[in-house]
Amino acid sequence: MNNNFWITDKPIQINECIDKVVRAEAGAVNTFIGTVREFTKGKRTLYLEYQAYKEMAEKKLSQIGEEINDKWNDAETAIVHRVGHLDISDIAVVIAVSTPHRNDSFEASRYAIERIKEIVPIWKKEHWEDGTKWIGDQKEQTTYIPSEEDLRND
Amino acid sequence: MNNNFWITDKPIQINECIDKVVRAEAGAVNTFIGTVREFTKGKRTLYLEYQAYKEMAEKKLSQIGEEINDKWNDAETAIVHRVGHLDISDIAVVIAVSTPHRNDSFEASRYAIERIKEIVPIWKKEHWEDGTKWIGDQKEQTTYIPSEEDLRND
């Protein structure tokens, strides 16, 4: 099951994620695709960088799949998250959940994206047009002061 | 806008639908994919046939896009529905809705599939393993007795 949950530094192929969950028992696949948005509250993003603890992040993505299996009957989940430099409209994350009936696929997919932001160790660095940067976790709530080491990796 | 809403008798390329709505202003794309399920309440489907009044169906799909624009801010929608012979796991419908934030994309996509089943003139003919057939509308609620003409087109 673990090969349904992975971190990549390459452009994400949406179909690769969807193909993992399409099956004869399922009549519904809900897919959530997170892309890099150019404007946030009027402020322009030039590009993003995502960093992850790869092994732990994949383990946590897999855990989300297990949580979905506990909560919804006969669901199959695949999740891929990209790291590295992402330009505007690049795909950062794809979630695909197949279920026999559509309601469950919507609910489980929605659950997955919220859980990714809660428990998966992936950090985002926003590069704004005005030259400032912002580093934070996926919930966009944490005030995080970058360390010297973080800055050296700029 | 109308080229975002179409009926096809060819296999659906998911990316073709998604590509129509990915844009710099959007950070979220929700995609719903309806596939042919093999078993329904223990009964095995061999294949399906969908028929549509193509022009009217495309007009109604486009109307759903307009309804979404009325209900959600800055949404872009694309919907493709396949007609003809579909085997198990073939894709019958793809909906893609992009919005700036994820909540709206989930809600609008969910709205779209419910509305498709309510207002779009597409009929489904199920071919069961036991040789029986069932013809109905998309809500799967209508008791529809096929006419001689329907049967002649078998």
- Nearest 5°: CA angle at B13, between A6 and B115? 100
Determine contact: B47 vs chain A, CB below 8 A: no
Return the pLDDT at A141.
53
Return the pLDDT at B131.
80
By C-alpha distance, the chain B residue nearest A35 is B27
Determine contact: B25 vs chain A, CB below 8 A: yes
Return the pLDDT at B141.
53
A30 vs B15, B28, B32: nearest CB: B32
Q: Are B30 and A32 in contact (CB under 8 A)?
A: yes
Phi/psi region, residue A42 (left: phi>0; alpha: psi -120 to 50; beta: rest), is: left
Distance, in Å, from the CA atom of B3 to the CA atom of B62, rounded to the nearest integer, reads 9
Distance, in Å, from the CA atom of B6 to the CA atom of A147, rounded to the nearest integer, reads 52
Looking at per-residue pLDDT, the higher value among A135 and A145 belongs to A135
Cβ distance of A37 and B100 shorter than 8 Å: yes
pLDDT tens per residue across span B19-68: 999 999 999 999 999 999 999 888 899 999 999 999 999 999 999 999 99
Rounded alpha-carbon distances, angstroms, from residue B56 to A31, B10, B79, B121: 28, 19, 14, 7
Phi/psi region, residue B100 (left: phi>0; alpha: psi -120 to 50; beta: rest), is: alpha
Span A15-29, average pLDDT: 97
Burial of B138: CB neighbours in 10 Å, binned 0-12, 13-18, 19+? buried
Determine contact: A15 vs chain B, CB below 8 A: yes
Fold of A2-152: Aldehyde Oxidoreductase; domain 3 (3.90.1170)
Rounded alpha-carbon distances, angstroms, from residue A135 to A117, A128, A139, B48: 14, 11, 11, 50
Return the pLDDT at A134.
72
Burial of A96: CB neighbours in 10 Å, binned 0-12, 13-18, 19+? buried
Return the pLDDT at B2.
52
Query: What residues of chain B, 73 to 102, have a C-beta less than 8 Å from chain A?
Result: 88-89, 98, 100, 102
Return the pLDDT at B143.
47
**Is the pLDDT confidence value at B145 over 50?**
no
Distance, in Å, from the CA atom of A149 to the CA atom of B101, rounded to the nearest integer, reads 32
| Per-residue b or e along A78-91, where b marks 16 or more CB atoms closer than 10 Å to that residue's CB | bbbbbbeebebbbb
pLDDT tens per residue across span A62-108: 999 999 999 999 999 999 999 999 999 999 999 999 999 999 999 99
Residues of A in contact with B28 (CB under 8 A): 32-35
Residues 6 or more apart in contact with residue A149 via CB below 8 angstroms = none
pLDDT tens per residue across span A115-134: 999 999 999 998 888 887 77
Looking at per-residue pLDDT, the higher value among A129 and B141 belongs to A129
Q: What is the CATH number of domain B2-43+53-121?
A: 3.90.1170.40
- Nearest 5°: CA angle at A119, between A116 and A120? 65
Q: Are A28 and B33 in contact (CB under 8 A)?
A: yes
Bridge partners (DSSP) of residue B91 are B35
Return the pLDDT at B146.
47
Interface with A, mutate which of B15, B19, B25, B31 (most A CBs under 10 A):
B31
pLDDT tens per residue across span B66-109: 999 999 999 999 999 999 999 999 999 999 999 999 999 999 99
Return the pLDDT at A120.
94
Return the pLDDT at A46.
94
B22 vs A26, A35, A100: nearest CB: A35
